Amino acid sequence: MSYKWWSFIAIFLFGIGLAVGLATPTGIADLMSEDIAALEELSRILLPFSFLTVILIFIKNVSALVISFVLSPILCLAPILSLTVNGWLLAFISSAVAQEESLGFVLAALLPHGIFELPALIIGQAAALSFGTMAILALLRKRRRSLLLPNLKQNLKYLLVALALLLPAAIIETYITPLLIT
């Protein structure tokens, strides 16, 4: 299957997460109070306009993509979960914040860095899905084993593109987004 199809599958899985996130009742946030408190604590560490914040955001996002890619041969669970959970979180939190603030606030907070970060997520997870599936097929069918290394090389190129997109996303999230939401 071509990489284009893996991209469509990644977009579809992310879309499922978005739909579930929009359908999740906002009252569920009360059940997640500990998680929300942890996010608030993290926000105190990640200060706007700090180079350390750029580095931490970049490392967190890179490690998430790389771990998902490495674990993808385990039934593609990591990329599937990453896409659906990220879609769910984005929609759920955006919906809750839009009710508290405004849709404009949410868009100002997400769009500037999301222009880079969402394509990075889709590109990286599509590569993970492609590689994970090929690894599984190579394990099950001997004639597919010769295709594993070329598939890995091609998907590593896509993964590198995704990782490169995460740097401007982290910079924008640290230096531009705070200006737009204050």
At 77-123, the pLDDT tens digits run: 999 999 999 999 999 999 988 998 999 999 999 999 999 999 999 99
Q: Tell me: pLDDT of 35 over 90.
A: no
Summarize pLDDT for 131-141 with one digit per residue, the tens: 999 999 999 99
CA–CA dist 45, 64 (Å, integer) = 19
* Residues 6 or more apart whose Cβ sits within 8 Å of residue 172: 112, 113, 116
Q: Please give the model's pTM, rounded to 2 decimal places.
A: 0.92
For the chain, the residue count is 182
* DSSP class per residue in 25-64: -TTHHHHTHHHHHHHHHHHHHS-TT-HHHHHHHHHHHHHH
Q: Where are the domains of the chain?
A: 3-21+49-181
Alpha carbon 22 to chain centroid distance? Answer: 17
Is a pLDDT exceeding 90 seen at residue 165? yes
**What is the per-residue pLDDT for 33?**
62
